[in-house]
Amino acid sequence: MANSSPIPVGVITVVEFAAAIAIALWPAGGWAQGGIDQGSIAAHFEPATPFNLEARPVPAKVTAEQDSALTSKGYVQIGTITAKYPGKNGDAEITRQIESKALRRAAEAGGDVVHLSSHVETESLEEAQYKNTCTQRRSMSAGDGRGGVTWTDVGCAHWEQVPTGKTTTELVDFLVSEGTVWRYDPKLAASLAAAEAERLARPENRIFTAVLNDDIATVTMLLRDHPDLVNAKAGEYHDPLLQQAVLSEDKAMVELLLEKGADVDATDDGHHSACYWAEYFEKNHEKDGKELSQRYKEIADLLRQHGAGAAAAAAAAAEKQKREDNEKICGPLHDALLKGDYAKAEFLLAHGTDVNVRDANYGNGTQLLQAATHGEKEIAEFLLAHGADINAADSDGSTPLIAAASAGNKEMVELLLLHGADVNAKDHHFETALSYAKILGHKGVAKLLRQHGGLGGPD
C-alpha cells in the first residue's frame, strides 16, 4: 500500500524538508521578512531570590494576572527580565521577537510566566575620551667626525592612549520589553511565605509597619517593650523611624517618637534627616497643595522646636571656622618648610597649626601632597614624623603617592610606601599611582609599585 501512492509521499517530504530548514535558520536570524538578528537583542535577568533554579524546557508565557492571584496559586516572583533592541520604530514582528527573547531568557532562569510590557526608552551612553601620547622617543646615533657621537630624535617609538578625563555622551533609543518573572513552585512559595511572616513578626519590622499604618497604639506598645526601637532604621535606604512618620504626614506619630527620645537629626543613607524631608515637602507643595504644605510646615516646626538641625549647623560653623583659621596659618607653615626653618614649623604645629592644613591655592592639597609633587623628601619626612595623613587627597582625588608616581620620583614613592601609603588609591579619574607611572613611562617607579601590590594602567 505504501508504494501505491508515491506522489503524496513526495509532497509531504518536500514540505517537511522546507519546515526543517526554516526551523534551523530561525534562531540565527529570524524570518527573512520583518525579522531582526536575535543576537542583537540584549536580554538580562535580575534574580530576586538566592536560589539556583532549574531552567524550564519551554519559553515562559505572558500573564495578566495580579501578583496576589499568582501568589495564591503557588507562584513565586524570582526576578525581573529586560530585553532591548536599538531603535525606536519597530513593527509588530520586531516587538514580538524582542518579547520572544525575553520569554526564552526568563525560562532559562527558571520562570514560567512573565508580567511583560513593551515601550521605548532613551539611554544616555557615556564613553571616555582618550588622546594618543608618545611615551617613548626613538633616537639614532652617528659619528660626529671628531671621535664623538651625536644623537638625533627620529620620532616616537611607543604611543599610548591616555585618558583626557572627558567623556562624550550619546542618546540612544531602545525598544524594550520588561517585566517580573514568576515560577510555579508551591513548596518554595510556602517556604518564602513562612520566612516573610517570621520577618514581619520581628519587633523592628512590626514597628515600621505600624508607623506606616498610623497605628499609634501598636507603636506605643512596642516602644514600651523595646524602647531602643525608637531609633531603628529600615528599608532600602535605612530610613529612621522618625523619617517614616514624617513621610506619612503623621504629626501625632512624630510627637510620640520625639517624646520617646527619637534622634531628631538621624539620617538615611542619603544623609537626609526627618526635618529635611518635612521642609522639602513643605516647599514642594506650596503651589499645588496648600493644606498638605501646611501639615508639613507644622511637622517641620515641631522638629525644629526639638533641636533639628542645631547640631549640624554648629558642626558646620565649627568646620568653617577651622577652615578659615587654617587658611590664615597655611602660609606661615608653607613658608617655614620651604625655607627649611623646621624650628618655626615645629613651633607652628605645637601651637595649633594642623599638619594636614589644606592650601586653597594648591587644589586644596596638603603640605605633604605639595612636598610629594615637588620631590621635597626632607619636608615629607618632617611632616610624616608629625602625623601627616599619608593618603589625604586634593580636590581632584590625587594622593601624595599618586603625585610622586606621576612625577617619576622613585625615592619619594619608596618613602611613602614605607610609611604605609595606599598603593591602589584612586583619584577622581579612577586612576592609581601605577596607572600614571605606566602612562608617563616611569618604568622604575612602575616596577616598584607592582612589587608592593600596585594595580591599574594599560598592559
Lowest mean per-residue pLDDT among 187-191, 250-254, 317-321, 431-435: 317-321
Helices (H), 339-426: 342-350, 367-374, 377-385, 400-407, 410-418
Whether the per-residue pLDDT at 167 is higher than 90: the answer is no
d(CA 164, CA 166): 5
> For 255, how many CA atoms within 13 A lie in the half-sphere containing its CB?
6
User: How much is the mean pLDDT over the chain?
Assistant: 81
Is the pLDDT score of 4 beyond 50? no
Fold classification of 30-125+172-186 (topology level) = Translation Initiation Factor IF3 (3.30.110)
Least confident of 129-133, 208-212, 276-280: 129-133
pLDDT in tens, 288-303: 677 888 889 999 999 9
Confidence band for 52, pLDDT divided at 50, 70 and 90: confident
CATH code of domain 322-451: 1.25.40.20
The residue that leads in pLDDT, 253 or 203, is: 253
* 172: β partners: 123
Asked if domains 202-308 and 322-451 share a fold, the reply is yes
Would strands 61-62 and 113-143 be described as parallel, antiparallel, or unpaired? parallel
Q: Please report which residue ranges of 226-362 form alpha helices under DSSP H.
A: 241-247, 251-259, 274-284, 290-305, 310-338, 342-350
Q: Considering the chain, what percentage of its residues have pLDDT values greater than 70?
A: 80
Give the confidence band of 93 by pLDDT, cuts at 50, 70, 90: confident
* Arithmetic mean of pLDDT, 159-167: 73
Question: End-to-end CA distance of the chain, in Å?
Answer: 74
Strongest mean pLDDT among 3-17, 64-78, 84-98: 64-78
| CA-to-CA dists, residue 214 to 220, 244, 245, 249, 318, angstroms | 11, 10, 8, 9, 39
More confident residue, 415 or 197: 415
Pick the range with the lowest mean pLDDT from 26-30, 57-61, 74-78, 214-218: 26-30
Phi/psi for 286 (5° steps) reads: -60, -35
The confidence score (pLDDT) of residue 263 equals 92
Question: Residue 200: is its pLDDT beyond 90?
Answer: no
Q: Is the pLDDT of residue 345 over 80?
A: yes
Q: pLDDT class for 147, splitting at 50, 70, 90?
A: low
Predicted confidence (pLDDT) per residue in 209-233, tens digit: 899 899 999 999 999 999 999 999 8
* CATH class of the domain defined by 202-308: mainly alpha
Return the domain boundaries, the chain. 30-125+172-186, 202-308, 322-451
**What is the pLDDT at residue 391?**
95
Q: Which pLDDT band holds residue 339 (cuts at 50, 70, 90)?
A: confident
